[in-house]
């Protein structure tokens, strides 16, 4: 690189930093809940980049709360143990033996891998699951499906799949209020009233936590650019009406449906806005929060 191109690059960086000022002011001391999915953490360099970005956010005055998934990693562990696993409407049917493994993987290995990565990047992460400090009280998920032949609504028994019934955010608020540098990292495992554990979809857990905290943003990191229309173009902004139309037309399907529903519900429950964005893009979090153009689909 010549001296000129180097100084041009330097000027560009400084301009970008300077343009970030209004965004840094907007998010100062604000809570941002980030759902970090299992696919996004599989790539080591992306995972390191994610940890650095979270630490940078904290240094910039933001209060990031991480809620992680781990679907692919649970799948690998179950395969190694010869336990078969199936999904109904995007949720893993979870019997008692599967639940034990789900909890080991989510609250154990994955949670601690993320905690270590953030700490290695210079942060001070604290790993929690929904059982810690009564964070996520869950109850058995009640899902139904219409039988196509008889048109009768059937109840699906998903075992220990749970839905958040009550989130007590005291521990997260306490960590944030002490002016410490703690970064909470939450595994989506809820506790039941009988002492049982529940496997909660990580998007759902992140949405419930964001709602309880009245977060400024719920960022759902996934493995596509954002919500795409029927021509596969990125939709920059989406509201309830558009989402309903796109679901009815079939342009939005599969795992994207519960993700959008979570994003919309969070907004209805007091989260300022939700964003679905690409966790495969380096620095997706920083681009979303600190640039004019953002990164994915804003849902408000």
Ligand X SMILES: CC(=O)N[C@@H](CCC(=O)OP(=O)(O)O)C(=O)O
- Closest separation between CB of residue 37 and ligand X, Å? 4
The size of the interface with ligand X (CB under 6 A), counted in residues, is: 14
Contact string (CB under 6 A) for ligand X, positions 12-51, x = contact: -------------------------xx-------------
Partners of 229 in beta bridges = none
Q: Does 201 bind ligand X (CB under 6 A)?
A: yes
Residue nearest to ligand X (CB): 69
DSSP string, 178-226: TT--EEEEEE-EEE-TTS-EEE--HHHHHHHHHHHHT-SEEEEEESSSS
Per the listing, tokens 């995007």 go with: 90
Angstrom distance (rounded) from CA 205 to CA 243? 21
C-beta of 63 vs 73, nearer to ligand X: 73
Q: Which does 179 bind (CB under 5 to 8 A by kind): ligand X, ligand ADP, none?
A: none
Residue 91 contacts ligand X per CB under 6 A: yes
- What is the nearest approach in angstroms of ligand X to the Cβ of residue 35? 7
Intra-chain end-to-end CA distance of the chain, in Å: 44
Q: Does 279 bind ligand X (CB under 6 A)?
A: no
Residues that bind ligand ADP (CB under 6 A): 37, 39, 71, 90, 203, 222-224, 227-228, 251-256, 259
199 is in an annotated binding site: yes
Does the annotation list 70 as a binding residue?
A: yes
Q: Which of 52, 92, 217, 225 binds ligand X (CB under 6 A)?
A: 92
Our CB check for ligand ADP shows the closer of 148 and 254 to be 254
Q: Which one of 66-74, 245-253, 262-270, 277-285 is the stretch in contact with ligand X (CB under 6 A)?
A: 66-74
Judged by beta carbon distances under 5 to 8 A according to partner kind, the member of ligand ADP, ligand X, none in contact with residue 228 is ligand ADP
Asked if residue 209 lies in contact with residue 167, where contact means CB atoms within 8 angstroms, the answer is yes
Angle between helices 96-103 and 71-80 (to 10 degrees): 120
Is 192 among the annotated ligand-binding positions? no
- Strand ranges, E, within the chain: 31-36, 63-68, 87-88, 91-92, 124-129, 136-140, 143-146, 153-156, 162-167, 182-187, 189-191, 197-199, 217-222, 237-238, 273-278, 297-299
Rounded to the nearest whole angstrom, what is the least distance from the CB of residue 252 to ligand X in the complex?
17
List residues bridging with 65 in a β-sheet: 33
Cα(284)–Cα(182) distance, integer angstroms: 22
The dihedral through the CA atoms of 21, 269, 299, 70 has a sign that is positive
Residue 73: phi and psi, rounded to 5, are: -70, -35
Q: CB under 5 to 8 A by kind: which of ligand ADP, ligand X, none does 259 bind?
A: ligand ADP
Measured from the CB atom, the residue of 65 and 91 that comes closer to ligand ADP is: 91
| Shortest distance (Å) from residue 140 CB to ligand X | 11
Work out the burial of residue 264: count CB atoms within 10 Å of its CB; fewer than 13 is exposed, 13-18 middle, 19 or more buried.
Answer: buried
Q: Binding to ligand X by residue 220, rule CB under 6 A?
A: no
Residue 254: name its binding partner from ligand ADP, ligand X, none (Cβ under 5 to 8 Å by kind): ligand ADP
Residues that bind ligand X (CB under 6 A): 37-38, 69-71, 74, 91-92, 102, 161, 188, 199, 201-202
């Amino acid at each position: 690189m010549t001296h000129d191109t180097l100084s041009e690059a330097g000027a560009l960086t400084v301009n970008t930093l300077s343009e970030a000022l209004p965004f840094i002011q907007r998010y100062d001391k604000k809570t941002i809940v980030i759902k970090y999915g299992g696919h996004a953490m599989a790539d080591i360099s992306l995972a390191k980049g994610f940890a650095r970005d979270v630490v940078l956010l904290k240094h910039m005055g933001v209060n990031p709360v991480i809620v992680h998934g781990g679907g692919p990693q649970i799948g690998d562990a179950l395969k190694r143990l010869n336990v078969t696993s199936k999904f109904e409407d995007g949720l893993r049917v979870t019997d008692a033996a599967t639940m034990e493994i789900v909890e080991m993987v989510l609250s154990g290995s994955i949670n601690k891998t993320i905690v270590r990565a953030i700490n290695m990047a210079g942060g001070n992460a604290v790993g929690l699951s929904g059982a810690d400090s009564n964070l996520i009280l869950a109850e058995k998920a009640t899902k139904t499906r219409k039988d196509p032949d008889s048109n009768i609504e059937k109840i699906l028994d998903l075992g220990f799949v749970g839905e958040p019934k009550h989130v007590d955010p005291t521990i997260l608020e306490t960590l944030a209020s002490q002016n410490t540098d703690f970064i909470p990292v939450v595994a989506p495992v809820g506790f039941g009233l009988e002492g049982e554990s529940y496997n909660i979809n990580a998007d759902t857990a992140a949405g419930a936590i964001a709602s309880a905290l009245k977060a400024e943003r719920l960022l759902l990191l996934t493995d596509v650019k954002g919500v795409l229309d029927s021509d596969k173009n990125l939709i920059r902004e989406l509201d309830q009406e558009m989402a309903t139309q796109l679901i009815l037309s079939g342009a939005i399907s599969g795992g994207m449906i519960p993700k959008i529903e979570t994003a919309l519900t969070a907004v209805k429950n007091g989260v300022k806005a939700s964003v679905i964005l690409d966790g495969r893009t380096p620095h997706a979090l920083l681009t979303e929060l600190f640039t004019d153009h953002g990164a994915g689909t804003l849902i408000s």
